[in-house]
Structure 1
């Protein structure tokens, strides 16, 4: 209340001579350029992490929808005798695509490029995304062209118009096609920007319609329409494939790409402020390095996760670190116990549990990220109690990402552990490897030792350790020694030879191998049957844990394919540990190696 008893709200607002209030705030009725950019990047985050199947078939649907544009444009021209009247229905296929959320190549010159400009995705990831979408668009356009050519859809008059449209494009000089394509690319990418700036569906429909109406009226070219026209002419006319692609489709493709990327994406990017991503959704996000940005997975990682709570770690050279990626902290506590038992035997041991959460589709708000992170931190706190009784340091962090399996390798490269201990089975991170790109692991050497665990209680009382030598078996021996020191495990070494005449050599090998790994007290068994698989299965009946060294195929290749170790995992009742040590293997060796151990 004022001194005269009146309320401040009763006072008339102070105004300028022009009647404008001098106090108060302006309530914006549209998004700022920074807010539009944030919405685009958030949407692109979902798109660029979609699987090949999702992208390709969404692209197929978009490519087939373009057939509607070609069909209506040719048919309406014959019915109205007016190209302007026919152009009125030209945008229908594009409306179908954009409102329906399908993947169109020219639409993808904006969102994924914006993500790449922010170094949240690599250039190879962008090119992969473009290639898949373009292949899908062309596949869908090809199906539509076949239907139009052989399905009796066109009348004879419409067929003549369709052929004339295609021949007109083929006859256009390449430079003209390029610049006409550039303007079309500008229009499509501009539509995407305005689409994210619009707050209601009606506005989007009007913008999409008017913008795509400009393509036929401006005598411009869109690459998917051009591809459909060219393919149609190849089937009903005499156009050659090379001439149609090189002289017609490729110039339009380059023009659409350059127009969308340079004239819209880059311009719109630089007209935003330096604070364009200073929001909760992108708080604490670590950008890709320049090398990662240029080379993608070949240099480390190709994508930045939605949430990453790890802090920069200053590595103690005397510290033995074990990284334990987990998908469900409620059910994977045995992994923490096993890691703690191994780490405490190394003097100064640290167990780092990282909860890798599959990102929900189109997660755009900071509140969603905070809620997921809060729940994860609570679950990780409960995990820490499982390190009680072990002389180790416990650390934890959370990653929310669409590429959960890839994050295992990225976290290992960033935190530089000595060992990654990873659970394998239903609801585990290995399951996501099939939906992601197994070639990633094959083309990148392992960043450290890996131990993949099939948990059937993880009782280390009696351990069976088959060995034929080699670095992976050496890692198996180190794990067995650690469990012997920590929980007093009983170890049985198993070496399988081909025949009784090799027994003595086998016994000498096991004696030297046991001495090398400081497990001389282990039971040493030489089997002369030569049947590796059945022998391991039979001996495992009396063991609670089996530790196997990797073959030359590489761990991921062995788990994805039906190999020896996978069969053993399925057959035995004991917990199984698969050990692999980094080795210099060529891509050919890792893809086509026969699994023989190095002697």
Structure 2
């Protein structure tokens, strides 16, 4: 008679409960974002452009006073703090939360594209107005605005700028992921400050932030125009999408494949 105990059957690997809880929160919030009526969606986007413009103002003030992009980048993080506390949104903050809802079949691709388009246009529209106010109200910043905006308006469209845009998309999406990993507002402020400083201080290529700098340069009389800006907006947005969706969101989904499968089965 064999008295040896039977070998236990290996349990299937499952991710830690925190990952599953975070997935559920992301899907729930993403569903709400995708279902927003047009006017609330427009309002959130307009406020997002206004809030991040405060960071651009701080960036220009500190850059003009110190000449240091790193120190100015730290000042720029004021804009991300404002975004967090005011509950407004940037275009690039929607590469994780609503995408999770679409993957779980709690929202459609059409609703996602609507969210991206309205948020981006609203961010840029309110940012354009705020940059005009900054240049008119603080004429001493015009030289700094021209220098900063011209840099992005003349950035060659190629591999280097695309890589900078991919990094920017990954940085913002990682920030979003970290903020949704906790319920504490105080803890959420930490990635807002750190990643805001990294984005602006590292001069990464961000579709909204750098568009606002270009707008400021144009308002200040720089020798660049909207035809210089528009193709770079498209190039940076493409890179931001690649960095956010491929480097962060897709990898994040690999941690909870069974939850994705369950959500899709429940949907039918």
* Alpha-carbon distance, 1:186 to partner: 0.5
* Alpha-carbon distance, 1:276 to partner: 5.3
Counterpart secondary structure, 1:220: coil
Partner of 1:160: 143
Q: Would you say 1:231 and 2:215 are equivalent positions? A: yes
- CA shift in 2, pair 1:194/1:244, >3 Å: same
Partner of 2:10: none
**Count of aligned residue pairs for this structure pair:** 251
* Alpha-carbon distance, 1:76 to partner: 0.8
Partner of 1:242: 227
Encode CA deviations 1:420-479: one digit per residue, 9 max, x unaligned: xxxxxxxxxxxxxxxxxxxxxxxxxxxxxxxxxxxxxxxxxxxxxxxxxxxxxxxxxxxx
Counterpart CA distance in 1 for 2:17 and 2:72 is 35
Q: Name structure 1 gaps, 5 residues minimum.
A: 1-29, 288-599
Which of 41, 66, 75 does residue 27 from structure 2 map onto? 41
Q: Would you say 1:180 and 2:164 are equivalent positions? A: yes
2:69/2:202 contact within 8 Å kept: no
Which of 150, 153, 175 does residue 191 from structure 1 map onto? 175
- CA shift in 2, pair 1:275/1:263, >3 Å: same
* Alpha-carbon distance, 1:113 to partner: 1.0
Counterpart secondary structure, 1:174: coil
Q: Name structure 2 gaps, 5 residues minimum.
A: 1-15
CA RMSD of aligned residues (A): 2.0
* Alpha-carbon distance, 1:283 to partner: 10
Partner of 1:209: 193
Encode CA deviations 1:23-47: one digit per residue, 9 max, x unaligned: xxxxxxx962221111100001111
Partner of 1:117: 103
2:102/2:109 contact within 8 Å kept: yes
- CA shift in 2, pair 1:196/1:240, >3 Å: same
Counterpart CA distance in 2 for 1:273 and 1:117 is 11
* Alpha-carbon distance, 1:108 to partner: 0.5
* Alpha-carbon distance, 1:202 to partner: 1.6
Counterpart CA distance in 1 for 2:259 and 2:114 is 29
Counterpart CA distance in 2 for 1:169 and 1:240 is 12
Encode CA deviations 1:501-551: one digit per residue, 9 max, x unaligned: xxxxxxxxxxxxxxxxxxxxxxxxxxxxxxxxxxxxxxxxxxxxxxxxxxx
Partner of 1:252: 236
Partner of 1:89: 75
Name the larger-Rg structure: 1
Counterpart secondary structure, 1:90: helix
Q: Would you say 1:274 and 2:258 are equivalent positions? A: yes
Indicate the structure with greater strand content.
1
1:55/1:103 contact within 8 Å kept: no
* Alpha-carbon distance, 1:277 to partner: 7.4
- CA shift in 2, pair 1:232/1:275, >3 Å: closer
- CA shift in 2, pair 1:108/1:283, >3 Å: closer
- The 5 Å alignment of 1:415-426 reads none
> Where has structure 1 moved over 6 Å in runs of 4 or more?
none
